[in-house]
Amino acid sequence: MNLRSRLERDGHRKRGTTAGGAASTRSLVYDVDQKRDWDAIIARLNSGNVSEMRIQMGSAGSAQVTAVRLKNKWNNLRVRTEGDTLILTLAG
C-alpha cells in the first residue's frame, strides 16, 4: 500500500482555503498507527503539494526525540512540536 492510500485510509485532511475564500497554507494532517516511513513522508513534503505536515505521535517525549532525529538527518527541514504533535515544514 502506498503512502497516499495509507493517508486516505487513515483520514488525513487537506486545508486549502480560509473561510473568506483566500488561499491559505496547505497542510496535511494525519497520524499513522504503524511504523513510519520517514523517507516517504519527507518526500511527500518535498513534492510541493503541501507546505506543512502534522503528525500525531504517541507522546510529547516521542515527538521531541523524533524532532531531533529528523533535524539531524534532513537539513532542509524545520521541525517543531506542540505537545505530542510533530510539525514539519520545509526550511526557507
Query: Greater confidence, 73 or 48?
Result: 73
Distance from C-alpha of 48 to C-alpha of 46, rounded to nearest angstrom: 5
pLDDT in tens, 66-84: 999 999 999 989 999 999 9
Q: Give the chain's mean pLDDT.
A: 76
The whole-number pLDDT of residue 13 equals 47
Domain residues for 79? 3-90
Total domains present in the chain: 1
Q: How confident is the model at residue 85 (pLDDT cuts 50, 70, 90)?
A: very high
| Grid cell digits, residue 14 | 487537506
Burial class (CB in 10 A: 0-12, 13-18, 19+), 89: middle
18 neighbors 48 (Cβ within 8 angstroms) = no
Greater confidence (85 vs 92) lies with 85
